[in-house]
């Protein structure tokens, strides 16, 4: 059965076929005509959609809910809801005060949306849990800390590392409480999803984050469940330090070369999952593009032990159902799929995209190339680094936002030669690649670019 394939992969055993996990978070709502908000708030609709996803996509593993704001909402963050995306965090309780929440503020099963989520988990476990490994996704300690503190946390990392470590350790206690409840509700795999880890240097991770993360993974293992560490963005430099935190597996998105990353994870006997491109392939491609994408991914890796095939992150809501079925077909039947698409070539045309004349601008131009500022936490905070400091920038600069789920924006990203998201360009120069600048860094960069324009 599929569940055992996942368990074998996370136990680092040989598998007869590759495991397949579609990260069909809010996308499951599309299967039954419900909005993202409906499936994230309504237990019956969520359960109905998950059962349908299990039937259509024949997964070996399946996340029950993909919402990194559940914990933040309980801890006092205001959320902005959307029809086709998970909610985003719009307020930060610790933005004005550098404190640590009281230890009594640890989520319990009666808080926030947890009664609905835990009940849905139990029902899904009963309905499909015998054959399908169920993933309980929790917000990682660093991203949760950023939800509470806001963009100031990146300045704190330079000016007050002890505070950051203390706040992350508190958030790790929240993660452990969430893991306990999810395991008790029948979740087989606890996935710690922390998009912002890719924005931090390995040195800073080891200094401020590692202890908290290790505590979470150690707890999951002590309960007899499996763990996975999800990160978004260009986490190539962070893969090794992630492995050192002792998860059973890590998952990466399309910013990371999966074959090269697996060379690192294999050194630590950690399973790696990924990383079918979400937008260029799953959202905007056709069935052949998706089958070819999966086969090319599989064929790029020599050793298939310690490997799970999955989308790079949470699938876009409007991902065509037939494209996800095509991915499943390719994972489950690679030989016949390889024969089916052997002469197929993907056609890309970016000719209609015009690049600004950066040498003759009136103002400094800040361009933000993002996956999705409403869904991707790293993208949200990169955008916030500009918007929150706009009063200090607006006389010198203007900014534009490009979103990697819009076809023209994808084409612009390619034409600019941008390989990793999120990336901030200043007057056409890739200035911050998977790194969120502090206010001082950003203002200094804009002033430098302004001085060059005047010349």
Q: What is the pLDDT of residue 454?
A: 66
Mean pLDDT over 338-353 rounds to: 84
**Interior CA angle at 221 toward 105 and 306, to 5°?**
125
- Within 95-243, strands assigned E span 133-139, 189-193, 226-230
Residues forming a β-bridge with 62: 134
Which CATH number belongs to the domain containing residue 283 in this structure?
3.20.20.210
Give per-residue pLDDT as tens, 154-163.
Answer: 889 989 999 9
Residue 198 lies in a domain: yes
Residue 298's nearest CA partner among 327, 270, 319 is 327
Mean pLDDT over 185-211 rounds to: 96
Q: Which range of residues forms the domain containing residue 443?
A: 364-454
Q: Are residues 315 and 373 in the same domain?
A: no
Name the pLDDT band for 352 (thresholds 50, 70, 90). Answer: confident
Q: What is the pLDDT of residue 33?
A: 97
Which CATH number belongs to the domain containing residue 392 in this structure?
3.40.30.10
Q: What is the pLDDT of residue 455?
A: 59
Give per-residue pLDDT as tens, 72-103.
Answer: 999 999 999 988 999 999 999 999 899 999 87
Q: Are residues 172 and 88 in the same domain?
A: yes
Q: Are residues 299 and 387 in the same domain?
A: no
Output the average pLDDT for the chain: 94
> Which two tokens mark 224?
């007899």
Q: What is the pLDDT of residue 170?
A: 97
Give per-residue pLDDT as tens, 12-33.
Answer: 999 999 999 999 999 999 999 9
Q: What is the pLDDT of residue 442?
A: 92
Residues forming a β-bridge with 191: 137, 228
Q: What is the pLDDT of residue 418?
A: 87
Of all residues in the chain, what percent carry a pLDDT higher than 90? 80
Number of domains in the chain: 2
Q: What is the pLDDT of residue 428?
A: 92
Residue 352 lies in a domain: no
Rounded-to-integer distance, Cα 3 and Cα 133, Å? 4
Residue 116 lies in a domain: yes
Name the pLDDT band for 374 (thresholds 50, 70, 90). Answer: confident
Of all residues in the chain, what percent carry a pLDDT higher than 70? 99
Q: What is the pLDDT of residue 405?
A: 80
Rounded-to-integer distance, Cα 275 and Cα 256, Å? 8
Q: Are residues 297 and 396 in the same domain?
A: no
> Which two tokens mark 352?
């209609």
Among the listed ranges 5-9, 190-194, 442-446, which one has the minimum average pLDDT value? 442-446
Among the listed ranges 74-78, 339-343, 416-420, which one has the minimum average pLDDT value? 416-420
Residue 354 lies in a domain: no
Contact 371, 310 (CB under 8 A): no
Rounded-to-integer distance, Cα 368 and Cα 426, Å? 9
Q: Are residues 292 and 230 in the same domain?
A: yes
Q: Are residues 172 and 309 in the same domain?
A: yes
Residue 135's nearest CA partner among 80, 167, 179, 165 is 179
Contact 280, 258 (CB under 8 A): no
pLDDT above 80 (res 348): no
> Which two tokens mark 150?
């806001």
Q: Are residues 262 and 307 in the same domain?
A: yes
Contact 162, 84 (CB under 8 A): no
Q: Are residues 299 and 411 in the same domain?
A: no
Among the listed ranges 8-17, 160-169, 280-289, 339-348, which one has the minimum average pLDDT value? 339-348
Q: Which long-range contacts (CB under 8 A, 24 or more apart) does 75-83 make?
A: 75/101, 75/105, 75/107, 75/144, 75/147, 75/148, 75/174, 76/148, 77/147, 77/148, 81/36, 81/37, 82/36, 82/37, 82/374, 83/35, 83/36, 83/37
Residue 246 lies in a domain: yes
Rounded-to-integer distance, Cα 256 and Cα 252, Å? 7
Rounded-to-integer distance, Cα 93 and Cα 20, Å? 38
Q: Are residues 126 and 17 in the same domain?
A: yes
Residues forming a β-bridge with 353: none
Mean pLDDT over 419-442 rounds to: 88
* Phi, psi for 266 (deg, rounded to 5): -65, -30
Residue 349 lies in a domain: no
pLDDT above 90 (res 257): yes
Q: Are residues 371 and 319 in the same domain?
A: no
Contact 426, 449 (CB under 8 A): yes
Residue 325's nearest CA partner among 314, 313, 337 is 337
Residue 30 lies in a domain: yes
Q: Which of 341, 375, 397 is the endpoint of a domain?
A: 341
Give per-residue pLDDT as tens, 201-234.
Answer: 999 999 999 999 999 999 999 999 999 999 988 8
Contact 230, 313 (CB under 8 A): yes
Q: Which of 341, 374, 396 is the endpoint of a domain?
A: 341
Mean pLDDT over 336-344 rounds to: 93
Give per-residue pLDDT as tens, 155-184.
Answer: 899 899 999 999 999 999 999 999 999 999
Question: Which is more confidently placed, 410 or 445?
Answer: 445
pLDDT above 90 (res 347): no
**Hey, which of 153-157, 269-273, 359-363, 379-383 has the most confident mean pLDDT?**
269-273
Q: What is the pLDDT of residue 395?
A: 92
Mean pLDDT over 401-412 rounds to: 87
Q: Are residues 317 and 425 in the same domain?
A: no
Residue 346 lies in a domain: no
pLDDT above 80 (res 351): no
Q: Are residues 406 and 370 in the same domain?
A: yes
Q: What is the Cα 263 distance to its own chain's centre?
A: 21
């Amino acid at each position: 059965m599929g569940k055992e394939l996942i368990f074998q992969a996370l136990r680092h055993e040989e598998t007869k076929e590759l495991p397949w996990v579609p990260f069909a978070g809010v996308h499951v709502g599309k299967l039954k005509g419900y909005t993202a908000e409906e499936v994230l708030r309504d237990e019956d609709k969520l359960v109905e959609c998950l059962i349908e996803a299990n039937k259509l996509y024949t997964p070996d593993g399946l996340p029950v809910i993909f919402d990194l704001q559940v914990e933040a909402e309980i801890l006092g963050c205001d959320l902005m809801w959307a029809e086709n995306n998970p909610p985003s965090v719009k307020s930060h309780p610790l933005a004005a005060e550098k404190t640590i929440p009281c230890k009594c503020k640890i989520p319990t099963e009666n808080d926030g949306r947890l009664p609905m989520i835990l009940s849905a988990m139990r029902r899904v476990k009963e309905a499909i849990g015998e054959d399908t490994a169920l993933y309980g996704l929790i917000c990682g300690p660093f991203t949760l800390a950023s939800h509470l503190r806001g963009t100031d946390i990146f300045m704190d990392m330079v000016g007050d590392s002890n505070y950051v470590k203390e706040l992350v350790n508190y958030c790790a206690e929240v993660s452990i409480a969430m893991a306990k409840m999810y395991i008790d509700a029948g979740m087989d795999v606890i996935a710690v999803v922390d998009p912002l880890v890719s924005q931090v240097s390995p040195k800073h991770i080891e200094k401020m984050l590692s202890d908290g993360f290790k505590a979470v993974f150690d707890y999951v293992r002590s309960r007899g469940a499996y763990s996975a560490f999800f990160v978004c963005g260009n986490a190539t430099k962070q893969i090794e330090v992630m492995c050192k935190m002792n998860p059973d597996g890590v998952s990466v998105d399309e910013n990371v070369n999966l074959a090269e990353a697996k060379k690192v994870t294999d050194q630590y006997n950690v399973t790696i999952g990924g990383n079918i491109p979400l937008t260029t392939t799953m959202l905007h491609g056709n069935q052949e593009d998706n089958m070819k994408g999966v086969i090319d991914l599989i064929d790029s890796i020599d050793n298939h032990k310690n490997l799970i095939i999955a989308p790079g992150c949470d699938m876009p809501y409007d991902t065509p159902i037939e494209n996800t079925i095509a991915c499943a077909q390719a994972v489950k039947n690679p030989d016949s799929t390889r024969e089916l698409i052997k002469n197929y070539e993907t056609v890309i045309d970016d000719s209609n995209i015009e690049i600004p004349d950066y040498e003759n601008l009136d103002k400094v131009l800040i361009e933000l190339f993002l996956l999705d500022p409403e869904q991707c936490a790293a993208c949200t905070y990169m955008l916030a680094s500009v918007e929150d400091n706009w009063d200090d920038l607006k006389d010198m600069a203007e900014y534009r936002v490009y979103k990697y789920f819009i076809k023209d924006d994808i084409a612009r990203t390619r034409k600019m030669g941008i390989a990793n998201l999120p990336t901030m360009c200043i007057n056409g120069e890739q200035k911050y690649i998977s790194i969120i600048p502090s206010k001082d860094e950003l203002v200094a960069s804009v002033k430098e670019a302004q001085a060059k324009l005047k010349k």
